[in-house]
């Protein structure tokens, strides 16, 4: 006869398959990932003038500092300036749609006061505002250069603009999307163990299992194993998918080891909560708060899980990274072994 713990683990996975919940879980994760990506792509393209090719904003410039401002505006690639003699003529042009925005620049008290009028009604508003901001920031730099003598320190030169190969989504893909996809399965696994244990206790089927020649430790083992194996498997799937999509993930095995170790830790937490507080309502609440606290708390530490996964994925780890991974593994295994020792003392199912 096979190891009873493996049998229990297999049974856990079999119910997942028969209820098709695993499909639902994958769909949820895909939905979250897709939606957050949509969101970021949408927001970035709303705010990034470079993402909209061939669209040039025309801006009417007027006021007594108009000439200086026009010179700067003309240097910008995505924005064209038209000078107007008076504010009234500029605003008429704005109303008639000849210009997308009006800049009224006046010199007063050693400063330039710019009133920017932008259209209120459209998706383009954000784009126009961003373009104006860039142009005005350049203008500010030149004006500041004229007053450099009055400043106690000179501002640092900006590094060059990134080249054409740069993407605004790079940071998001590795520091948000990848950790999200890696840790969602972990949280789901923990929640699953809470459900599994509380349901056995609730339905009284744990009593039946105890009649069989398996110990409580074996039962908890089987459930923990099944849930803990599932998380790295899903994370592996997401990593492969990201890789396929052109987001190369470095050190995949190390990442999977970290995810596995954390899955073991979180699943152990879930099992402990479920054993201590056998009503599902209370247990799920405690588990959710516990995981939020643990996870939120660790993000303050250097080398927290999210940061570790991100840095492993972009290869920003030093030669010491095996030690970090080993640390996570030790943490997960340690918690699991503690639970195993504690289970007989807790008297599961003796209610």
Q: Scan residues 75-134 and list those touching another protein (CB under 8 A).
A: 91-92, 94-98, 109-123, 125-127, 129-130, 132-133
Coil, strand or helix at 61: strand
Told to check if 251 binds another protein by CB under 8 A, we report no
Residue 64 makes contact with another protein by CB under 8 A: no
Is residue 191 within 8 Å of 47, Cβ to Cβ?
no
Neighbours of 194 (CB within 10 A): 27
Binding residue (CB under 8 A) for another protein from 1, 2, 160, 320: 160
Q: Least CB distance from residue 284 to another protein, whole Å?
A: 5
- The span of 181-189, 251-259, 262-270, 335-343 binding another protein (CB under 8 A) equals 181-189
Q: Which of 74, 86, 170, 344 binds another protein (CB under 8 A)?
A: 170
C-alpha pair distances (Å), 58 with each of 77, 94, 259, 269: 11, 10, 51, 59
* Under rule CB under 8 A, residue 174 binds another protein: yes
CB of 213 to another protein, least distance (A): 25
156 binds another protein (CB under 8 A): yes
The answer for residues whose C-beta is within 8 angstroms of residue 46's C-beta and 6 or more apart is: 123, 126, 127
For another protein, the closer of residues 293 and 330 by Cβ is 293
Q: Does 176 bind another protein (CB under 8 A)?
A: yes
C-alpha–C-alpha distance, residues 277 and 331, integer Å: 24
Q: Does 54 bind another protein (CB under 8 A)?
A: no
Task: Give the residue, chosen from 3, 38, 326, 341, that forms a contact with another protein under the rule CB under 8 A.
Answer: 38
Computed on alpha carbons and rounded to an integer, the radius of gyration of the chain in Å comes to: 30
Task: Label the pairing between strands 57-62 and 79-83.
Answer: parallel
- In the window 194-233, what residues touch another protein (CB under 8 A)? 195-196, 198-199, 202-204
Q: Is 45 one of the binding residues for another protein (CB under 8 A)?
A: yes
Q: Which listed range, 3-11, 22-30, 235-243, 326-334, lies at the site for another protein (CB under 8 A)?
A: 22-30
Based on the shown chain and the rule CB under 8 A, indicate whether residue 280 belongs to the binding site for another protein.
yes
- Using CB under 8 A as the binding rule, whether residue 31 contacts another protein is answered as yes
Measured distance CA(127)–CA(52) in Å, rounded: 9
Using the rule CB under 8 A, give the single segment among 208-216, 231-239, 252-260, 294-302 that binds another protein: 294-302
Asked if 136 touches another protein (CB under 8 A), the answer is yes
279 binds another protein (CB under 8 A): yes
Q: How far apart are the first and last CA of the chain?
A: 31
Which is closer to another protein, CB of 47 or CB of 253? 47
Residues in the chain: 351
Q: Which of 10, 14, 17, 24 binds another protein (CB under 8 A)?
A: 24
Q: Please, are residues 176 and 32 in contact by the beta-carbon 8 Å criterion?
A: no
Comparing CB distances to another protein, the nearer of 67 and 202 is 202
Q: List Cβ neighbours of 275 (8 Å cut-off, separation of 6 or more).
A: 197, 220, 343, 346, 348
Part in contact with another protein (CB under 8 A); list of ranges 55-63, 258-266, 280-288, 320-328: 280-288
- Work out whether 144 is an interface residue with another protein (CB under 8 A): yes
Applying CB under 8 A, the site for another protein has a residue count of 127
Other C-beta atoms within 10 Å of 122: how many? Answer: 11
d(CA 263, CA 187): 8
Which tokens in the block code for residue 263?
A: 């899955």
Token pair 């704005």 in the structure block, residue: 94
Residue closest to 25 by CA, chosen among 268, 266, 230, 242: 230
Residue 168 interacts with another protein (CB under 8 A): yes or no: yes
């Amino acid at each position: 006869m096979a190891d009873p713990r493996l049998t229990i683990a297999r049974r856990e996975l079999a119910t997942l398959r028969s209820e098709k919940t695993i499909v639902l879980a994958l769909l949820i994760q895909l939905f979250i990932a897709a939606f957050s990506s949509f969101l970021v792509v949408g927001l970035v393209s709303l705010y990034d003038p470079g993402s909209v090719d061939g669209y040039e904003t025309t801006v009417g410039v007027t006021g007594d500092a108009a000439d200086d401002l026009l010179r700067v505006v003309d240097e910008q690639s995505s924005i064209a300036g038209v000078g107007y003699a008076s504010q009234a003529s500029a605003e008429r042009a704005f109303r008639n749609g000849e210009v997308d925005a009006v800049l009224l620049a006046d010199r007063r008290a050693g400063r330039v006061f710019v009133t920017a009028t932008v259209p209120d009604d459209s998706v383009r508003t954000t784009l126009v505002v961003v373009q104006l901001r860039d142009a005005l920031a350049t203008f500010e730099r030149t004006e500041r250069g004229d007053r450099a003598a009055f400043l106690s320190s000179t501002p640092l030169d900006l590094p060059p603009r990134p080249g054409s190969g740069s993407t605004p989504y790079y940071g998001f893909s590795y520091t948000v999307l990848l950790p999200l996809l890696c840790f969602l399965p972990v949280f789901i696994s923990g929640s699953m163990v809470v459900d599994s244990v509380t349901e056995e206790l609730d339905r009284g089927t744990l009593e039946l299992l105890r009649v069989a020649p398996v110990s409580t430790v074996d039962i908890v083992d089987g459930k923990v194993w099944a849930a803990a194996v599932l998380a790295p498997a899903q994370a592996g799937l997401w990593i492969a998918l990201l890789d396929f999509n052109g987001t190369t993930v470095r050190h995949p095995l190390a990442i999977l080891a970290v995810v596995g170790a954390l899955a073991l830790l979180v699943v152990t937490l879930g099992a402990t909560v479920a054993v201590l507080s056998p009503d599902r309502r209370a247990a799920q609440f405690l588990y959710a708060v516990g995981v939020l606290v643990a996870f939120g708390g660790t993000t303050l530490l250097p080398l927290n899980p999210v940061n570790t996964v991100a840095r492993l994925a972009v290869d920003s780890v030093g030669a010491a990274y095996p030690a970090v991974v080993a640390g996570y593994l030790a943490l997960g295994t340690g918690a699991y072994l503690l639970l195993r020792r504690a289970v007989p003392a807790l008297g599961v199912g003796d209610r």
